[in-house]
Structure 1
Amino acid sequence: MVCAIPSALHAFLSSPTNVIAAVILLLVLTALWSVLLPNGFPPGPVAWPFLGISSALKGDLSKALTDLTERYGDILSIKVSGRRKVVINDVNMVREALVKKQNEFAGRPWRYYLGLLSEGGESIFHCSYSPKWMTRRKLLVRAIRNATSGRKMNDSIGKAILQLKNSVDDRNEEPFNPRHYFQLTVGGAVASMCFGRKYGFDDPEFQEIIKTAENVVKGFGQRFSADVFPILRHVPTKGVCEIKKVISRWLMLIQSKIDQRKAKPNEVGHVITGDLNLVEHHHLRKILSCGPKSGEPRRINWNHNFKIIMDSVEEYARKWAKREDVELDTLSEWVKSMRKIVRGRIGRLRSHVCRRPYSVFKDPNAVQCLNDIHDKYVVVPADKAANNIVFVCKKYYFECLIDELGVTKTSTNSTINIQQI
């Protein structure tokens, strides 16, 4: 019986008429399945197979959705470009979805080309709500806050506006479209914040960044059929190949900047933060990665911990006896049983916990590495960034201190002579 199935299938597919009929049947079943309303979805208009109701939403979108709301209610489902969407047209329901249940509705719909740009949903703008996304968002907010705090942003904006003014003056009062110059101004400020260097409008590297970014935005401004028909993702059409090429170029550009930063950590300036690669000793680098408030494991004083626990137990017994207006001896047996339980638990823990933790500072290589760091840098905790430290060039650090104190660098006092640092 099993052997007869392949032969029967081969005989059926050997006829062109049967193949065409099978393909038509498959398309009809797929079309019917695409227009069926999934279980649990709110009511909505009947959609065309594969395309949905895109044609009905042309023109005034708000008017079209209002008409659908009057017919199907404040919550309805529509299908657009092969995807089911839920429309809410009630203030209280919108507040419940976006405020009270914001975590449940914080996800992002998957888009094929956005997935390519985000390297499989690894970026913050195209990633599902998860602890990973929350961590990345916190890092991004801290980085932006640090880059825009104090005089950094004011100086950056001032220089960008000065470049814009000079470029406009070079036009000699000729009419021009300011859009390009505004793009260069904003793009220069953002690129400077991201890559840590100043760019002029005529800088070839900056021009390449702007051109690649414009190509990415232009490509995503089009309507891609691969989002509607997933099978077309594997068809090498001109549009698919072009956008993949643009995205690949953009990601390579960003990665090259990251590689330059890793290869030359000392050329980014006098201050190094968020990079512990200059700490060559592995165990020492691991301790520093835990933040300035952490330290090495200490030897556990079991007797001291036992005393702390029993003091708390006896304090609780005194308060309970006072509240219930009874003699303290009423809980004496309970206190004895608690002492026995705590002593037994501590005894079991002592047999499993290492009594003498290893200290990395007993390693001569670690001590030498730390001394080398102290000879070149001043290590300070990072402001507005928890569990992070900053390595500041020692000479630059003292120059800043002397400038703040108003002391001249040419002073004959040997205690403040910069050249001796």
Structure 2
Amino acid sequence: MDYYTLVFGSILVLSLLYILAKLSSRGTKKLPPGPSPWPVIGNIHLLGAKPHISMANLAKIYGPIMSLKLGQLTTVVISSSSMVKQVLKYQDQDFSGRFVPGAVRAHKYSKFSMPWSPICPQWRMLRKIMNTNIISSNRLDANQHLRSQKVKELIAYCAKCCQEGEAVDVGQASFKANLNLVSNTLFSKDLADPFSDSKVELKEVLSDILAEIGKPNLVDFYPILEKIDLQGIRRRTTIHVDKLFELFDDLINDRLEEKKKGSSEKSDALEMFLTINEENPEEIDHNHIKSLFLDLFLGATDTTTSTVEWAMAEMLKQPEIMKRAQAELAEIIGKGKSIEEVDASRLLYMQCIIKETFRMHPPASLIPRSVQQDVELCDYVIPKGSQVLVNVWAIGRDITFWEDPLVFKPERFWSLDMDVRGQDFDLIPFSAGRRICPGYPLALRVIPVILGSLLNSFNWKLEADIEPKDLDMEEKFGLTLAKAHPVRAIPSPL
């Protein structure tokens, strides 16, 4: 292709996109306020590398309900708790759609996934299967011994590092514990060596999937480009999902062989899913099972790990908070003693630390929804097909509600009777309404036990004599809000 053909073709495509953008913008006089869009690109140039921060800054100008034009895609951003309450409580049904990014269509993942399905019979069926077989109180109670064992292995690994004077990569070590916790719940098997210092490829794979899904994608802004995949996001996501689906296929086939031989006596989630498949094959097939596994790995490993890592980072940055948490543990549990899930409710300061971590570092900074028809919201009209983003990150830093919002201050929750289960809209780390994250009961059991065990077993300091004030707290934007640089800390005896 010669230079002039390329230039002419580019001009033609841009002109077509501009015409489409103009046509799609007609009749939007009642849209919420927002910045004036540029021809063709709309407001894409305003997103930057960290859209949650860019959108929070724009909301200070245009208000708590704001519209952006991202190419052809109308996007409404909600940035206040009162407006979120209207959207996720009073009008939850209107806003219960799920905008499906192009990356999630890789390997037809979105077709069989529960989080990415529309509210429909399949979604209700998958949610029921998930609730009944994995995250019901009875199932969580039955698997508590597995979680306890994985936390003990984490502490044993940290004890090894303590003896050798080696630093612990807090995120990596916590991820291994969470990965094995989930993998044992699903198919009675460890997927990582808890005593190895080596990186876990699955962590990289899961993190890469979340990063790709979270990236601004031209395919989402210009559906006409869907088959082109200009940025290669769908291609890379397909490669990552492939690796996990191959693993799940092997595990499923191995279990089917065991069942044929009559040697399978396990009672894990895989066994239950296969039984449902045998009895009611129209309900779920192997594609559903693999997608449910991927949903659980994405939701229960990376997000929980990120919360533990952020909490440890904040306490390493303010050692007095860590000392106060350790004092509470010594008084309530006993210094150096094991922590069980039933103890979490008695550790009031620990609960404050976790809530403050959720406020400043929510697992998902932007909660995506969509509308399937024109919806009225506070005298505005949200057009059919619009993407709706709840900026949880911005709500956690709303100066009109939070005093000193940029300061990590767990004590603020002593006087705030606030829950994280979707009822208090100033703090919704797991979203709210019918689309609330189904895995939050597991997260709320695991996080305090891991965090409390790390603090009640060792003292911690940053490696290489890094001063607390110099600890890097940069975020890495994706579907989850991870820490850009790992926290490495040296454990020592209490």
TM-score by length of 1: 0.51
Provide closer, same or farther for how the CA distance between residues 229 and 25 of structure 1 changes in structure 2, counting only shifts above 3 A: closer
Q: What is the CA-CA distance between 1:203 and the residue it aligns to?
A: 9.6
Alignment partner of 1:262 out of 231, 256, 260: 256
Q: Which residue of 2 aligns with 1:213?
A: 206
> Structure 2: how far apart are the matches of 1:192 and 1:151?
14
Tell me if the contact between 1:75 and 1:86 (Cα under 8 Å) persists in the aligned partners.
yes
Provide closer, same or farther for how the CA distance between residues 30 and 139 of structure 1 changes in structure 2, counting only shifts above 3 A: same
Map 1:119-268 → 2, pairs under 5 A? 119-145=109-135, 149=139, 151-171=141-161, 172-198=164-190, 201=193, 207=200, 209-220=202-213, 222-230=215-223, 231=225, 233-234=227-228, 240-265=234-259, 266-268=262-264
Map 1:71-82 → 2, pairs under 5 A? 75-80=65-70, 82=72
Tell me if the contact between 1:107 and 1:129 (Cα under 8 Å) persists in the aligned partners.
yes
Q: What is the CA-CA distance between 1:200 and the residue it aligns to?
A: 5.4
1:42 aligns with 2:35: no
Provide closer, same or farther for how the CA distance between residues 120 and 20 of structure 1 changes in structure 2, counting only shifts above 3 A: same
TM-score by length of 2: 0.45
Letter in 1 for 2:55: L
Post-superposition CA distance 1:332-378 (Å, at most 9, x none) = xxxxxxxxxxxxxxxxxxxxxxxxxxxxxxxxxxxxxxxxxxxxxxx
Letter in 2 for 1:154: Q
1:33 aligns with 2:20: yes
Provide closer, same or farther for how the CA distance between residues 268 and 222 of structure 1 changes in structure 2, counting only shifts above 3 A: farther
Letter in 2 for 1:37: S
Tell me if the contact between 1:188 and 1:199 (Cα under 8 Å) persists in the aligned partners.
yes
Q: What's the Cα RMSD here? A: 4.0
Provide closer, same or farther for how the CA distance between residues 62 and 243 of structure 1 changes in structure 2, counting only shifts above 3 A: closer
Tell me if the contact between 2:255 and 2:264 (Cα under 8 Å) persists in the aligned partners.
yes
Map 1:8-407 → 2, pairs under 5 A? 24=11, 27-35=14-22, 37-39=25-27, 42-44=31-33, 45-56=35-46, 61-69=55-63, 75-80=65-70, 82-88=72-78, 94-116=84-106, 119-145=109-135, 149=139, 151-171=141-161, 172-198=164-190, 201=193, 207=200, 209-220=202-213, 222-230=215-223, 231=225, 233-234=227-228, 240-265=234-259, 266-269=262-265, 273=272, 275=274
Provide closer, same or farther for how the CA distance between residues 49 and 192 of structure 1 changes in structure 2, counting only shifts above 3 A: farther
> Structure 2: how far apart are the matches of 1:239 and 1:25?
24
Provide closer, same or farther for how the CA distance between residues 49 and 249 of structure 1 changes in structure 2, counting only shifts above 3 A: farther
Letter in 2 for 1:217: L
Letter in 2 for 1:42: L
Post-superposition CA distance 1:113-163 (Å, at most 9, x none) = 112165243201211121221221111111223586365332112211221
> Structure 1: how far apart are the matches of 2:65 and 2:276?
54
> Structure 1: how far apart are the matches of 2:204 and 2:78?
39
Q: Which has the larger radius of gyration?
A: 1
> Structure 1: how far apart are the matches of 2:133 and 2:183?
14
Q: What is the CA-CA distance between 1:252 and the residue it aligns to?
A: 2.1
Q: What is the CA-CA distance between 1:111 and the residue it aligns to?
A: 0.7
> Structure 1: how far apart are the matches of 2:14 and 2:56?
33
Return the structure number with greater relative CO, CA threshold 8 A, min gap 6.
2
Provide closer, same or farther for how the CA distance between residues 120 and 22 of structure 1 changes in structure 2, counting only shifts above 3 A: same
> Structure 2: how far apart are the matches of 1:211 and 1:21?
41
Letter in 2 for 1:103: Q
Higher helix share: 1
> Structure 2: how far apart are the matches of 1:215 and 1:202?
22
Question: Matched residues, percent identical?
Answer: 15
Q: What is the CA-CA distance between 1:105 and the residue it aligns to?
A: 0.8
The gaps in structure 2 that reach 5 residues or longer are: 284-494
Provide closer, same or farther for how the CA distance between residues 209 and 269 of structure 1 changes in structure 2, counting only shifts above 3 A: farther
> Structure 2: how far apart are the matches of 1:138 and 1:125?
13
Tell me if the contact between 1:147 and 1:153 (Cα under 8 Å) persists in the aligned partners.
no
Select between 51-60 and 181-190 the one with higher mean Cα deviation: 51-60
Q: What SS is found at the alignment partner of 2:27?
A: coil
Q: What SS is found at the alignment partner of 1:149?
A: helix
